[in-house]
Amino acid sequence: MELFDVIVIGGGPTGLACAIETQRAGFSHLVIEKGCVVNSLFNYPTQLVFFTTPELLEIGDLPFVCEREKPNRQEALKYYRRVVDTYKLNVNQYERVLNVSGADGGFLVETEMVMTGERRSYRSKKIVVAIGYFDQPNFIGIPGEDLQKVSHYYKDAHPFYDRDVAIIGAANSAAIAALDLYRHGARVTIIHRQATLRPTIKYWILPDIQNRIANGEVRACFNTVVTEITPTTIRIRHLETGEESELPNDFVFALTGYHTDNDFLRSVGIEIDSETMKPKFDAETMESNVKGVYLAGVVIAGKETGKIFIENGRFHGGQIAAALQKK
């Protein structure tokens, strides 16, 4: 087997940035991604417009040109494809990492091809883990959550025209989904355990969803939890009164957040703080407590996933490359 200097686990914007920076520093690399390039961005809502401006999404000093002030999902996907092509990055798509063993200077990475089940193995001197968190939804743990009509991801409104749709959660993604579904003819109900919508909803979206609720165009059940999902209904309970009720329902979007794959981190030997769920790492070099294993992107955030974005995670690759050069 070829011995790579660096294997990057995760082909999102941060993983690609790590590959670029280590390549620039003269190291050989391989990126292993279990989905497509920037898989999480691909799974964003089809009509999503980024909150940030394009220059804050740029990696590798490659200009991100878009039609308007803020880029949309399609423009971002096109940009990151161009990044891979421009830098001729060595990316294996649709390949899942099963296990990382060995030690600094001699790691063994075992994988499985998603489409065929073929097993592969690679050797590497260093490992960079940039797996993000979008593939690990926070499950509610209620009966019926495994029904086919339940999804933890929202992508497009059209299939839900003239249907009764429940959204569990009231953060930014829930507000965006509710507005999109309402404007495409769905009957939308937001269910949230708190008394109000999350104040962290983007400033131009918050008044819109508040007005739709005030006008009765989107129904909102606050101080309420879902107790069960059935094929045709959703059962809820008000937390203050204890009153239970049942609503007609065709589809459910449980937009209750996501978390990083801490089981995988622990399998590599990385220590996780039991309270914050943050992994142990050096903030200057990004090296974890496992010598030769580096962390990049939102994987370092623990419970505070809202503090690490593409805008700041993209710089972790430069820190890692600088640390490798010193060694």
Give the residue-averaged pLDDT of 265-282: 96
The pLDDT confidence band at residue 307, using thresholds 50, 70 and 90, is: confident
- For 173, 260, 271, 288, 314, the CA distances from 278, given in Å and listed in that order, are 23, 10, 8, 11, 19
Mean pLDDT of 211-228: 98
Mean pLDDT across the chain, nearest whole number? 96
Whether residue 147 contacts residue 231, with contact meaning beta carbons closer than 8 Å, is answered with yes
Which pLDDT score, from 0 to 100, does residue 309 have? Answer: 83
Q: Is the pLDDT of residue 306 over 80?
A: no
The three-class DSSP label of residue 271 is: coil
What phi and psi values does residue 306 have, to the nearest 5 degrees? -75, 0
Q: Average the pLDDT over 17-35 and give the result.
A: 98
Q: What is the pLDDT of residues 48-94, one digit of tens each?
A: 888 889 999 999 999 999 999 999 999 999 999 999 999 999 999 99
Q: What is the token pair recorded at 139?
A: 């499950």
* Residue 134: predicted pLDDT: 86
For the chain, the farthest-separated pair of C-alpha atoms sits apart, in whole angstroms, at 64
Distance CA 110, CA 86 (A): 28
Task: Indicate the CATH number for domain 3-136+258-326.
Answer: 3.50.50.60
DSSP-assigned letters across all residues of 231-258: SSEEEEEETTT--EEEEE-SEEEE---B
- Average pLDDT score over residue span 161-171: 97
Work out the percent of the chain whose per-residue pLDDT is above 90: 88
Intrachain domains 3-136+258-326 and 150-254 with the same fold = yes
pLDDT band at 155 (very low <50, low <70, confident <90, very high): very high
Question: What mean pLDDT is predicted for residues 216-223?
Answer: 98
Contact between 243 and 237 (Cβ < 8 Å): yes
3-state secondary structure 78-112: HHHHHHHHHHCCCEECCEEEEEEEEECCEEEEEEE
First-last CA distance in the chain: 24
Residue with tokens 């407590």: 289
Q: Is the model's pTM score more than 0.85?
A: yes
Query: In the chain, where does DSSP find H-type helix?
Result: 13-24, 39-42, 73-87, 172-183, 206-214, 262-268, 310-313, 316-326
Distance of alpha carbon 149 from alpha carbon 157, whole angstroms: 14
Give mean pLDDT, residues 210-224: 98
Q: Which amino acid is at 116?
A: T
Whole-number Å distance between alpha carbons of 191 and 55: 36
**What percentage of the chain exceeds 70 in pLDDT?**
100
Distance CA(205)–CA(207), nearest Å, equals: 6
Q: What is the DSSP letter of 165?
A: E
Q: How many CB atoms lie within 10 A of CB 105?
A: 11
The CA distance from 15 to 33, in Å, is 9
**Across 302-307, average pLDDT:** 83
Domain boundaries, the chain: 3-136+258-326, 150-254
List the structure tokens of 73.
Answer: 């999902």
CA distance 76 to 308: 18
Domain 150-254 has CATH 3.50.50.60: yes
Of 94-103, 142-151, 200-209, the poorest mean pLDDT is in: 200-209
Give the integer Cα–Cα distance in Å for 209 and 211: 5
CA–CA separation, 76 and 227 (whole Å)? 38
Q: What's the confidence (pLDDT) of residue 305?
A: 79
Inter-helix orientation angle 73-87/13-24, to 10°: 20
Residue 304 has pLDDT above 90, yes or no: no
| Beta pairing, strands 187-191 & 219-221 | parallel
